[in-house]
Structure 1
Amino acid sequence: MSQRIISHSRRERLDAILECLLADETESAQSLATRFGVSLMTVHRDLDELQRRGVVRKFRGGVSVARTSTYEISAPLRRLVAVPQKKAIAAAAARMVGPGQSILLDDSTTAAMMLDHLLGVEELYIVTNYLPTLTRIAHEGGPTVAAIGGTFDVGHESFLGVGAVGAIRAVRVDIAFFSTTTADVDGIYHQEESIVAVKSEMMRSSRRRVLLVDSGKLGDTSLHQVADWGAVDHLVTDAGADADLLGTLRSHGVAVTVVDPALHSTDSGSGTDAADQDNEEK
């Protein structure tokens, strides 16, 4: 197959279209054509290209970049969503990691942001199926890393399938850091069965399980349940989370850390002390 050649100006327009759709999902093809000074046919070709990449969905009368109960947005787009919240959550989660530990990072963009704080941790061993995490460690060095193989999924930028499940089953790590698309009082969920299989095995292969989800994912469900809260030891989320939901989870034995994206601190204090206090509550 010949490689697709896309001009620099078109790449910039594709990125700008995504930014517009993230800011306002009511944008139509016609309004995008007017905004960028191109023909309606050109915009439709751009949207077709974005759909081919898996970052948008076209439907009669419009286009969507939002996840639904049966559809998850792609990794490139997820990296643009709730960035301050994810950075704060990742910083708090990284404080749970110490020298000499083995950890598992899933293919979530939140877990990947933990690398900003982990590359200097001594004798750290990281297991992951997420290609951007593998690539960054390969370029920057630091921890020892084990790659989980399997079938590469372009939309998730990760390795999935029976090969990935088998590889995860063969390891035991100290802590698994993972995310999912939705969660409510009954458990955590994802839209895709292949992702559920991998995340479920990750949880079984770890001694401690830490869920990283921004508040926008809480209070809703998706097609498949990954697990109930009995399988989660610690939740790290942001200050937008519903207090009643968090209170219910604490009463069920889940340690909870809430971060303020503006401060990178927790609701119980700052630094590692707050996370330690939450652990003692469990």
Structure 2
Amino acid sequence: MAEDATAPAAGDAAGARERREKIRQRVVDEGFVHVKSLAEAFDVSVMTVHRDLDVLQSNGWLRKVRGGATAQPSAIYHGDVRHRLQAMAEAKRQLAQAASGLVSPGASIMIDESTTGLAVAELLPSLGPLTVITNFLAAVNLLAGKPGIDLIALGGAYYPAYDAFLGLRTSETIRSLHADVLFMSTTAITNGHCYHQSQETVAVKRALMDSADRRILLVDHSKFTKNGLHQLAALTAFDLVIVDSGTPQDQMAALRTRGVPLHVAGSGEPLP
């Protein structure tokens, strides 16, 4: 096994970046990878792998756990965007279909950096003309150049793991704009409140909420089993909360008891 150099040559930095990118891709592809297997695969020491994982974790690409690294989200790790795109795909499609019924031609639409919001974005070109405002690069790439879509891309500091622009500059730009409706999602719901993993995400989502006439929250049933660190808002702060048909009846009853304006996607009931 190769020895770690105490003073790496200039070319080693490029090699480390390439190795970390390969580690990131492997963790996302496999879901979990052992430190020892990474050390053997790249012919470096276990300590080097730990340093690589520390860098990748600090950039939000993965989460270190005992013995290795995972792409699975946690209370302090949002989850790689590629991993999130694959999760609850049918529920997100159901939610997006329901949300599309709230879109009127000529409206201005805000979409957050959620993959549920991306499912809504996929339907918008057929509903135009529309103005779409988003900080989610995946949505920008999806809608760029589409006929009938006047696209406003929100800049700021780019966060690769979210594939989105977040931070103070993003929030300031949002507050200079106004939209008819906001479609957004959340990482977790606990005791009738939305939670997220990062303060940067919360700040941008609050700015989006402040800049839209109507706030629509789209949540699949998995959100009720997750945890988050930073509270965003009560569900009652939204004009409508749309849940998928897989949401347990007792969970929906609890939401209605709290006064949450609720609609079940696919239920056949008319949208409020």
User: What TM-score comes out, normalization by structure 1 length?
Assistant: 0.77
Equivalent position of 1:224 in the other structure: 230
- The 1-side partners of 2:84 and 2:123 are apart by 20
SS at structure 1 position matched to 2:205: helix
SS at structure 2 position matched to 1:230: helix
> 1:116 is aligned with what amino acid?
E
Q: Is the CA contact (8 Å cut-off) linking 1:177 and 1:211 kept in structure 2?
A: yes
- The 2-side partners of 1:39 and 1:139 are apart by 46
Q: Is the CA contact (8 Å cut-off) linking 1:214 and 1:238 kept in structure 2?
A: yes
> 1:18 is aligned with what amino acid?
V
Equivalent position of 2:155 in the other structure: 149
Instruction: Check if 1:82 corresponds to 2:92.
Output: no
- The 2-side partners of 1:154 and 1:119 are apart by 26
- The 2-side partners of 1:176 and 1:209 are apart by 5
Q: Is the CA contact (8 Å cut-off) linking 1:105 and 1:178 kept in structure 2?
A: yes
SS at structure 1 position matched to 2:86: coil
Equivalent position of 1:195 in the other structure: 201
Equivalent position of 2:30 in the other structure: 20
- The 1-side partners of 2:96 and 2:86 are apart by 15
* 1:22-101 equivalences in 2 (<5 Å): 28=34, 39-41=40-42, 48=52, 51=56, 54-101=60-107
Pick the aligned partner of 2:130 from 124, 138, 144. 124
- The 2-side partners of 1:250 and 1:143 are apart by 36
> 2:85 is aligned with what amino acid?
R
1:37-82 deviation digits (Å, cap 9, x = unpaired): x945469899958947743223341322222222211222211222
- The 2-side partners of 1:39 and 1:149 are apart by 40
1:3–1:123 CA distance, 2 compared to 1 (3 A): farther
Shift in Å at residue 94 of structure 1?
A: 1.6
- The 2-side partners of 1:57 and 1:107 are apart by 20
Q: Is the CA contact (8 Å cut-off) linking 2:196 and 2:202 kept in structure 1?
A: yes
Equivalent position of 1:245 in the other structure: 251
Shift in Å at residue 249 of structure 1?
A: 1.8
- The 1-side partners of 2:235 and 2:27 are apart by 38
Q: Is the CA contact (8 Å cut-off) linking 1:203 and 1:231 kept in structure 2?
A: no
Q: Is the CA contact (8 Å cut-off) linking 1:125 and 1:145 kept in structure 2?
A: yes
- The 1-side partners of 2:26 and 2:156 are apart by 33
Amino-acid identity (%): 30
1:14–1:159 CA distance, 2 compared to 1 (3 A): closer
1:223–1:16 CA distance, 2 compared to 1 (3 A): closer
Instruction: Check if 1:112 corresponds to 2:118.
Output: yes
Shift in Å at residue 16 of structure 1?
A: 6.6
- Aligned Cα root-mean-square deviation (Å): 3.1
> 2:257 is aligned with what amino acid?
S
- The 2-side partners of 1:206 and 1:200 are apart by 10
- The 2-side partners of 1:251 and 1:212 are apart by 19
Instruction: Check if 1:211 corresponds to 2:217.
Output: yes
1:167–1:243 CA distance, 2 compared to 1 (3 A): same
SS at structure 2 position matched to 1:71: coil
Query: What is the number of equivalent residue pairs in this alignment?
Result: 254
Q: Is the CA contact (8 Å cut-off) linking 2:110 and 2:133 kept in structure 1?
A: yes
Q: Is the CA contact (8 Å cut-off) linking 2:106 and 2:131 kept in structure 1?
A: yes
Q: Is the CA contact (8 Å cut-off) linking 2:63 and 2:77 kept in structure 1?
A: no
